[in-house]
Amino acid sequence: MADRKCLALIAHDQKKDDLAAFAKANEAVLSKWRIVATGTTGGRVLDVCPGLDIVRLKSGPLGGDQQIGALIATGDVNCLIFFVDPLTAMPHDVDVKALMRLAIVYDIPMALNRATAEQLIDFRRN
């Protein structure tokens, strides 16, 4: 199934449990995607969904956000789900903004919270 589309998963620290719960609730749909994730986020999702095809990249602050941005720029990521915590300051905020900018520039679907991710998954399911 190498022709499967690729989904990127990222979550800020305070949102990682929420993203893992989202993945568990949508495991059947997510199993149809190739998934790349930042390191810690990917680990949390694999803990609850060990059967998913997830490639873990570096942790976000250590370059994982930039790695996913590069995959967006090369056309290797088709969709981004990034559970953002707007109430906590992020020391790597410039990386986060650059990643979001690339998703917008390359016009890929991007969900920044669970409600939007649910809609995106429902849309992609059909």
Binding residues for substrate, as ranges, are: 12, 16, 38-41, 59-60, 92
Residue ranges with strand state E in the chain: 6-11, 34-37, 54-56, 79-83, 110-111
Contact 15, 47 (CB under 8 A): no
Give the separation between CA 84 and CA 47, rounded to whole angstroms.
Answer: 20
Residue 65 a catalytic site member: yes
User: Among the options 65, 76, 93, 122, which is catalytic?
Assistant: 65
Task: Give the residue numbers of the binding site.
Answer: 12, 16, 38-41, 59-60, 92
Angle at 64 between CA 21 and CA 122, to 5 degrees: 35
Cite the active site residues: 65
